[in-house]
Amino acid sequence: MILKTDVFEEVKSWKKPLHKSRTYIAKNYLKLLPEVEVIGITGSVGKTLTQNAIYSVLSQKFNVSTGGENLDPTFRIPQTILATKPWNQKVVLEYGVEKPGNMDHYLSIVKPKIAVVTNIAPTHTKYFKDIEGVYSEKVKLVKALAKSGRAVLNADDPNVAKMASETEARIYWYGKKATDSVKISHFSQSLAGSTFRLHYKSQKATVSWKAVGEHQLTSAYAAAAVGLLEGLTLKQIAKGLSQVKLPEHRLTPLVTKNFNIIDDTYNSSPKAALEALKAFLKLSKNLHKIVVLGPMKDLGHLSEDEHRKLGEAIAKSKINVLITFEKVAEIIAKSAKKNGFRGKTLNSDSIAAVVKGIKKLKKKNSVIFIKGSRHAHLDRIVNGLLGKSTKVSCYHCGELK
């Protein structure tokens, strides 16, 4: 049995009344804005880029409100609602869950009229136990839809596809397997970003955005589907996607005089790590590759096995240097070596040592990929390489430590 948790359990005791009051006010404030359509997004990977993409697309036609990127949804949802103005027509909210009961809490504040689901993968299995537990929590967003609501589901993800039977709301499919939605072709990428072409019926439009990684097209597919159901033209959708603000620390290319960095330090999970590494390897083809990986947190009993699997995936790659941060992540390097990895491996629990090691090992044509769970604060490595402070910035809670 999975026990539900208090969403405010990690909040300092003197702050709890403030957050609880804000949540209560937000719940009642939204009742004063019955014309505002709430669009809710959930999934294991890609929620924030999807949020930003939907916001940018819908902004081509409507007055839209959405929240910041790095604040936990427990605090972000109420703050976003309270920042919504009477003249806003849409509000886009990210329903990210980490523990059982999170979704129930968010839905007690506001139920969406449109629910968007990106994918289902083993994340936070320390609390959800397995992928079925993840599914059971996230599907609540779709179940909460009224019959007049709309579910925008990823046809390419089998677990998301199952959610169609969990609601009476109308289903809108997106993705490569969707038969009546936007299609994407001619994908091309570099460290400057990527381009691709949208197709819908007889229409075509080209998109150029700063995101890299073909897997991130899931967010483009989802935003395009929402755009269509909200009555936008393909040209409006393409313009919106081209203007998407790339979330910080999420597969973000940083090209400077001294370093080429792919900053993916906001968080990490098995699926996200594999997809990001695939994107990195394509981007860095024929270049010197330095990879820094931190631990994937909150995997519980699956932790050792998932870190080992990641090492196996890396084993046959042409990564030149693999640096792991902290003891748990060292499992990745040991597994890679065991399975034939020929690159250099290092492990450290010191940010300064990792920064120093990268500077020593880098070459003129090096590309550095850095990824780990946010608890490890590997953004400090990025800051160190850029000559900035390596003080811990708790960017997901808005505090400094």
Residue 385 placed within a domain: yes
Q: What is the pTM of this model?
A: 0.93
Are 103 and 218 part of one and the same domain? Answer: yes
**pLDDT over threshold 90, residue 317:** yes
Residue 56 makes CB contacts below 8 A (sequence gap 6+) with: 223, 240, 241, 243, 244, 245
- Backbone φ and ψ of 255, nearest 5°: -110, 115
Domain termination residue (choose one: 174, 209, 242): 242
Residue 335 placed within a domain: yes
In this predicted model, what pLDDT tens digit does every residue of 103-150 receive, in sequence order? Answer: 999 999 999 999 999 999 999 999 999 999 999 999 999 999 999 999
Residue 54 makes CB contacts below 8 A (sequence gap 6+) with: 39, 41, 92, 116, 222, 223, 226, 227
Residue environment code for 234-248, b if the CB has 16+ CB neighbours within 10 A, otherwise e: bebbbbbbbbbebbe
Q: Two tokens at 268?
A: 């990490």
Give the model's confidence band at 14: pLDDT under 50 very low, under 70 low, under 90 confident, else very high.
low
Residue 302 placed within a domain: yes
In this predicted model, what pLDDT tens digit does every residue of 326-354 receive, in sequence order? Answer: 999 999 999 999 999 999 999 999 999 99
Are 271 and 198 part of one and the same domain? Answer: no
Residue 155's domain comprises: 16-242
Which CATH number do you get for residue 291? 3.90.190.20
Residue 5 placed within a domain: no
Residue 247 placed within a domain: no
Domain termination residue (choose one: 242, 272, 295): 242
Give whole-number Cα distances, 358 to 281, 362, 363, 370, 378, in Å. 18, 6, 9, 11, 13
Are 54 and 31 part of one and the same domain? Answer: yes
Residue 9 placed within a domain: no
In this predicted model, what pLDDT tens digit does every residue of 367-387 receive, in sequence order? Answer: 999 999 989 999 999 999 999
Are 72 and 179 part of one and the same domain? Answer: yes
For the chain, what is the domain count?
2
Contact indicator for 84, 108 with CB cutoff of 8 Å: no
The C-alpha atoms of residue 143 and residue 165 are separated, in whole angstroms, by: 9
Are 75 and 182 part of one and the same domain? Answer: yes
Residue 8 placed within a domain: no
